[in-house]
Amino acid sequence: MKWIHPWDADTMLKPWGNLIGWKVLNEVELKHIENHQYKPGAYTPLDNILNPWWQQLTDLLPRWLAPNLVTFAGFLPILMSYVLAWYCSPDMGTPPPRWLCFTMAVSLFLYQTLDAMDGKQARRLNASTPLGQLFDHGCDCLALLSHSSMAIGFLCSGATRWSMAGQAVLASGFFMAQWQEHYTGVLCTSYGPVGVTETQYGLIALAAVAGILGPNGTEALMTSRLVGDFTLSNFLVSSWIVFNFFLMGMCLHQTLSYKSTTAAQELNRPRAMLDLLPVVVLNFVFLFGWDATVVADMPRVLGLSAGLLFFYLTAQMILYSMACSNFEPKQWMLFPFAALAVASRVAYLPFEVLIVKFTLILHTVALTLYVKCWILTVISELTTHLGIRVFTVEPKTE
């Protein structure tokens, strides 16, 4: 008799694709995903220090606990801190209170730790699946919204294009890492001694420092002038942007200079560059397409809308990399976002601006539902084809 957990989400996911009539993956792509083998990049020195501790924590987990549930348990605190930051500082200009700073630091620590444990739990249970990679990296991509929110809260950069640029380069860098894996077969998570772990621990430290200083102390420090009107906040944000551009440049160089061992897998550089076009367009629209009034009045909604689009693009890149299929550069989902940006530029009368803002909210809600339907369809197709579950593991029969 097949063992089924009473609260297994697969009961709801299984008929999802048939319910909405979508078909994301064909049989050939599903077969490629079934045979996909994940190849992570090299560990950093900090990873090597923390690995024994992560393994010890993993060994304490019950064997019935599915790896995806470990991932999701780490994602929930991150989601909570993002919602709380939106509530406490909807304009992005209000420095977060002490309790929120410490909450963000703890939530990111939990997320980072559990994110390092989910793969170890999968190997411990011999339950590694392609769905685990999609679920893990999909949560990582969504978590970037919370990471950006934490950084903005500490840096006090407010509802400015500086803040938008900080979010955009982070999301673009994550997309390019998945793009590199698509063409090289290896997901690079570090460059030399600096990687994802170091970056996350740095953000944890910044959130903790902001909690110690308090909102007034943090704002005074960040708004202190270095040269003229150039503040410490401006310096740190610009340094973060330059750092991410350096990483993206390294990623671009390593990918385009990649030499395959077989002629059949020879890199098509023009095609690879074309895959980056949607992200370039999204960055341009996100940073420069919107009128300054919308950026100042609705930074959270605008950031969420762009973040969901970045997630949708990145999730496709992850999925089609595993499926040995081509990523589609023509992303029609970007057009409503771009059209609204143009409308915000030409809107003149107050009621016209209000219509644009209201439509942006509707667009964000519709985009959320669309992306949710897409990812649930993909999960339904994968679980059906692979005969696996999302949040439960079946006990081994003797």
Least confident of 8-22, 305-319, 376-390: 8-22
Compute the average pLDDT of residues 40-45: 84
Q: Quick check: 315 and 375 in contact, CB under 8 A?
A: yes
Distance CA 302, CA 219 (A): 24
Q: Quick check: 81 and 231 in contact, CB under 8 A?
A: no
The predicted pLDDT at position 6 comes to: 39
Tens of pLDDT, residues 121-172: 999 998 888 888 899 999 999 999 999 999 988 888 888 888 899 999 999 9
Q: Quick check: 289 and 235 in contact, CB under 8 A?
A: no
The predicted pLDDT at position 21 comes to: 56
Compute the average pLDDT of residues 75-85: 95
pLDDT surpasses 80 at 102: yes
The predicted pLDDT at position 228 comes to: 83
Q: Both tokens of residue 195?
A: 């990687």
Distance CA 375, CA 377 (A): 5
Compute the average pLDDT of residues 356-376: 94
The predicted pLDDT at position 41 comes to: 77
Among residues 149, 169, 148, the alpha carbon closest in space to that of 96 is found at: 149
pLDDT surpasses 50 at 113: yes
What end-to-end distance do the CA atoms of the chain give, in Å?
Answer: 14
Tens of pLDDT, residues 169-222: 999 999 999 999 999 888 888 888 888 999 999 999 999 999 999 999 999 999
Q: Quick check: 298 and 90 in contact, CB under 8 A?
A: no
Compute the average pLDDT of residues 95-107: 94
Among residues 308, 213, 317, the alpha carbon closest in space to that of 274 is found at: 317
Least confident of 8-17, 43-52, 317-326, 382-391: 8-17
Tens of pLDDT, residues 7-21: 444 444 444 444 455
Among all residues, which ones are annotated catalytic? Answer: 137
The predicted pLDDT at position 56 comes to: 95
pLDDT surpasses 60 at 313: yes
pLDDT surpasses 90 at 362: yes
The predicted pLDDT at position 8 comes to: 47
The predicted pLDDT at position 15 comes to: 47
Q: Taking all residues of the chain, what is their mean pLDDT, rounded to a whole number?
A: 88
Banded pLDDT at 395 (limits 50, 70, 90): low
Q: Quick check: 38 and 133 in contact, CB under 8 A?
A: yes
Q: What share of the chain has pLDDT > 70, as a percent?
A: 92
pLDDT surpasses 50 at 267: yes
Residues in the chain, overall count: 398
